[in-house]
Amino acid sequence: MIADPMVLITLLIQLGVSAAVSSVLARSLRFRFLLFHEDRDLWEKLEMVFSVGIPIMLGVVVRATVKNFFAADISFEACILLGVIAGRTAGVCGGIFVSIPYLFLHQYMNLPLNVIAGLSAGFLRELAKDREVIWSFSPLFDLSLYRWLRRSIAKSFIDWQTSFFFVILGLQFLRLETRRFFPDYTWALDSNNWLIRGATYISTVMVVAIALKVLNNIRIELKLEEQERLLLQTRMAALQSQINPHFLFNTLNSVASLVRFDPDTAREMILKLSKILRRLLKKADAFDQLREEFEFIDDYLDIEVIRFGPDKLKVVKELDPASLDIMVPAMLIQPLVENSIKHGLSPKISGGTIYLRSRVADSMLVIEVEDDGVGMIEPGSPAGNWNAQQGGTGIGMANVRERLHVLYGDVARIEVESQAGSGTVVRILLPIPQSGDIDAAGISHD
């Protein structure tokens, strides 16, 4: 029998061990994923068992090999935790897994006790109508016995958190009674002093509650990140839906202008437009490779060349091959090209040339759209006012600026250089994303 002062000290240290192990687990990206997504398959449940079980097994070994360091062994509480957060299968498998060291120590009764603990907590998890009640568990469910009795009688049953509290106490009672009957084959902290024994019951509840609290903080953090990601995704979808109708409206106007006096050319433009529409309908991603963006621009410029004539609209490309595989926001370049044609070259009787350039410089992707058109009315005007100053709506450039701000914050830049009568250069500087910087939703992370 361990001395009573040592039992009390060990119980206090176990609370810290519970918080420390939970915090270490929460640092694992894979464990965070498994914790956040509660609809887990069998293999994911086994992953959780191994993630939690390995440090708990080591704790059992440390308890058995390091003198007077009994606090490292929280396997019983860990089995309850596994059962309540991952279900009966994980609870049972965890009970077996963490009990392996006990078999070598000839403490055989800890194996069935741990399995029963994991299984019981797993059953109780299934009874929870709202899984969030699990994560808000606290041993201080209600300090007023009168209020608790009145609420329980009114509902004709005990609520889930109160049930979990008593289940933990019942499991600890079974454990201590098993140790009383099989002292040579069962390990558990115990005392003949009823106050100390009561402390072991409270400590078991607190160890489980502290672990749930630490893990719940991680879940809340992940939920906030998920909400932020969904908000960005929704905002990007709204901006994307704004750019496509704007582009289609202007293109259809070009087709309409040719229908009466040049139906063959109008038919060719419609075929080109149908190709573009198929591409838009098939692509729902927020990011594309730069080469795909330029392929899209080729289709768009085919329409504009037909409308203007090959002698009045020329296109020159100066593309660095090293830049073409870099991921960029979808439909990023088309509004810039459209502005160059509509507000730079259209007012110019002789037409002109559009220059498309891309390169990598100083770890940044540089994209330039230049025209030798009429330029801006006020040189040096902000990019967001380019269209507005020429009588346009400003949707295209404003959209590009807003999307870059959503995706990159202040890291991305738009620069505009223009001289009246000489043309305009719009330059976009984007950070080059590293592997994993763009998630499945198409949101770039710093």
Strand ranges across the sheet with 313-319 = 313-319, 352-361, 364-371, 423-431, 413-419
As a whole number of angstroms, the distance between CA 383 and CA 400 comes to 10
Q: Are 126 and 87 in contact (CB under 8 A)?
A: yes
Percent of the chain surpassing pLDDT 70: 80
34/165 same-domain check: yes
pLDDT above 50 (res 393): no
pLDDT at 338: 82
- The secondary element (H helix, E strand) that includes residue 287 is strand 287-289
Look at residues 386, 405, 375, 406 and name the one whose alpha carbon lies nearest to residue 335. Answer: 386
Look at residues 341, 340, 355, 336 and name the one whose alpha carbon lies nearest to residue 397. Answer: 336
How many helices and strands, by DSSP H and E, does the chain display?
16, 7
239 part of a folded domain: no
185/274 same-domain check: no
CA-based max dimension of the chain? 104
191/135 same-domain check: yes
As a whole number of angstroms, the distance between CA 71 and CA 57 comes to 13
Higher pLDDT, 223 or 70: 70
162/57 same-domain check: yes
Number of domains in the chain: 2
Give the end of a domain, one of 177, 202, 225: 225
* Band of residue 233 on the pLDDT scale cut at 50, 70, 90: low
277/201 same-domain check: no
Digit-coded pLDDT (tens) for 250-308? 667 777 877 777 788 788 878 878 877 776 666 556 678 899 888 888 888 887 787 67
198 part of a folded domain: yes
pLDDT at 169: 94
* Residue for token pair 């039992």: 7
pLDDT at 111: 96
pLDDT at 136: 81
Look at residues 281, 240, 272 and name the one whose alpha carbon lies nearest to residue 254. Answer: 272
The region of weakest confidence among 27-41, 95-109, 203-217 is 27-41
Mean pLDDT of 393-412: 75
Higher pLDDT, 226 or 99: 99
Mean pLDDT of 44-57: 93
Give the end of a domain, one of 184, 205, 225: 225
**Domain interval for residue 407:** 257-431
As a whole number of angstroms, the distance between CA 95 and CA 276 comes to 59
pLDDT at 411: 87
pLDDT above 70 (res 231): no
Q: Which residues pair with 316 in a beta bridge?
A: 355
pLDDT above 90 (res 176): yes
pLDDT above 70 (res 214): yes
322 part of a folded domain: yes
185/300 same-domain check: no
247 part of a folded domain: no
The region of weakest confidence among 163-172, 301-310, 390-399 is 390-399
Q: Are 180 and 197 in contact (CB under 8 A)?
A: no
pLDDT above 70 (res 341): yes
Q: Provide the mean pLDDT of the chain.
A: 81
As a whole number of angstroms, the distance between CA 341 and CA 369 comes to 11
445 part of a folded domain: no
59/164 same-domain check: yes
Mean pLDDT of 227-232: 64
pLDDT above 80 (res 4): no
pLDDT at 108: 94
pLDDT at 283: 55
pLDDT at 148: 54
334 part of a folded domain: yes
What secondary structure letter does DSSP report for 40? -
As a whole number of angstroms, the distance between CA 176 and CA 170 comes to 10
Output the domain CATH number for residue 270.
3.30.565.10
301/210 same-domain check: no
SS3 111: helix
pLDDT above 60 (res 348): yes
Burial bucket for residue 319 (CB in 10 Å: 0-12, 13-18, 19+) = middle
pLDDT at 386: 40
163/267 same-domain check: no
Higher pLDDT, 410 or 323: 323
Of 273-287, 335-349, 373-387, the range with the highest mean pLDDT is 335-349
Amino acid present at 310: P
User: CB 446: neighbour CB atoms within 10 A?
Assistant: 7
Q: Which residues pair with 354 in a beta bridge?
A: 315, 371
Mean pLDDT of 27-49: 87
359-387 burial code (b ≥16 CB/10 A, e <16): eeeeeebbbbbbbbbbbbeeeeeebebbb
| Alpha helix stretches (DSSP H) within 257-362 | 263-282, 290-308, 334-339
pTM (predicted TM-score) = 0.60
123 part of a folded domain: yes
Query: HSE on the CB side for 84, CA within 13 Å?
Result: 31
304/422 same-domain check: yes
Mean pLDDT of 219-246: 65
Mean pLDDT of 74-93: 94
Query: Phi and psi at residue 414, in whole multiples of 5°?
Result: -120, 125
Q: Are 235 and 403 in contact (CB under 8 A)?
A: no
As a whole number of angstroms, the distance between CA 224 and CA 36 comes to 11
Identify each DSSP E strand in 347-422 by its residue range. 352-361, 364-371, 413-419
362/414 same-domain check: yes
Give the end of a domain, one of 202, 225, 248: 225
329 part of a folded domain: yes
202/329 same-domain check: no
